[in-house]
Chains A and B, each alone.
Chain A
Amino acid sequence: QKEVEQDPGPLSVPEGAIVSLNCTYSNSAFQYFMWYRQYSRKGPELLMYTYSSGNKEDGRFTAQVDKSSKYISLFIRDSQPSDSATYLCAMSPPSGYNKLIFGAGTRLAVHP
């Protein structure tokens, strides 16, 4: 079993839709939870991070962490074609600070 599971998609939605992206994990000691956006043939770009449980909102993006269920989500409101990219979740394990464990990434396509 992988430490971090993420449905690779692809996910195709119409412009303006609400998008829900999710990851599950097995290591209960993870403390930092990150979401990255990666355009084709580019490096990942940090969208949001959350420490421990709870919600965090930034513009059209909302990140949620439910540590009791080992489940994290990223919601994108009013999705735009420019949101079309691969979204990767990542987590920090308890040892080796800074070391990131990535999910497989979900490919999102927002069509006009």
Chain B
Amino acid sequence: GAVVSQHPSWVICKSGTSVKIECRSLDFQATTMFWYRQFPKQSLMLMATSNEGSKATYEQGVEKDKFLINHASLTLSTLTVTSAHPEDSSFYICSATSGRAGYEQYFGPGTRLTVT
């Protein structure tokens, strides 16, 4: 149980284009989903928290207009990187939870974004 998927697993896009990443909870309903960013050999940095049906809460320093998050249902959240630039190249990981405790987050396999 508690499986989270992400699609695509790897995407290459040209500078200036937008790319959408999907995060799905496959066997449970996720009241909250989180989006993280991870640079090579660095830790996970929380970008935003999203609750189904409401606007995402972004961490300080994360551009809301650049990283659009939509949590349309209890099993799906999307992250759209708009007007991508090479510095947006990173590993994006989502997590989903239906509980309140930190250990109850279940992580997706991640999406590697390369912007050329």
Contact = CB atoms under 8 A, between A and B. Distances in A.
A32 B99 CA distance: 13
B105 A98 contact: yes
Given A43-B107, A43-B108, A102 B101 contact: no
A100 B95 CA distance: 11
A49 B43 contact: no
B7 to A, nearest CB: 13
Centre residue among B6, B95, B103 by max chain A CB count within 10 A: B103
Range class of the B interface residue count: 20 to 34
Contacts, number: 70
B107 A98 contact: no
Nearest to B57: A96
A42 interface: yes
A41 B112 contact: yes
Nearest to A105: B43
Nearest to B59: A99
A44 B32 contact: no
A81 to B, nearest CB: 21
A99 B102 contact: yes
Range class of the A interface residue count: 20 to 34
A98 B101 contact: yes
A62 B93 CA distance: 27
Contacts of B100: 97-98
Contacts of B112: 41
Nearest to B107: A43
A63 B110 CA distance: 26
A88 B43 contact: yes
Interface of B: 4, 6, 32, 34, 41-46, 49, 91, 93, 95, 97, 99-110, 112
* 3 smallest beta-carbon distances between A and B, as pairs: A92-B102, A49-B103, A43-B107
